[in-house]
Amino acid sequence: TSGVDVRTRHDVMHLLHELHHDGLAIVVTTHDLNGIAAHLPRLACLNREIIATGTPQEVIVPEVLERTYGAPLEVLSHGGMPVVVEHYPEAVEDSNVVPLWEEHHEHPA
């Protein structure tokens, strides 16, 4: 589902859900946890080995995601489903961070 719009991703995941409901085993690989969490009854997180398996609520938790991705991620809940939020506190606190526009364009005097 990389590079597709939200509606198309939803349609693809809905089709896969229907195929699974009809008895087919479905394997999906993705980094887009927010886009698939509502559509999958079970998932696994991997990083050279199986880190965790279970329902989205069991697996999409900060501890598992940090072991999987090697970076801290915040997990919120929306409508009973986990929602992953990338968190970069060092970027917010870094006074040297300059928006790209300012970095590459001179300001008029």
Model confidence over 55-96: pLDDT tens digits?
Answer: 999 999 999 999 999 989 999 998 888 999 886 666 555 556
Residue 75, classed as helix, strand or coil, is strand
Q: Tell whether the model's pLDDT for residue 106 goes beyond 80.
A: no
Measured over the CA atoms of residue 68, residue 69, residue 73 and residue 79, the dihedral's sign is: negative
pTM: 0.69
CA 61/CA 41 separation, integer angstroms: 16
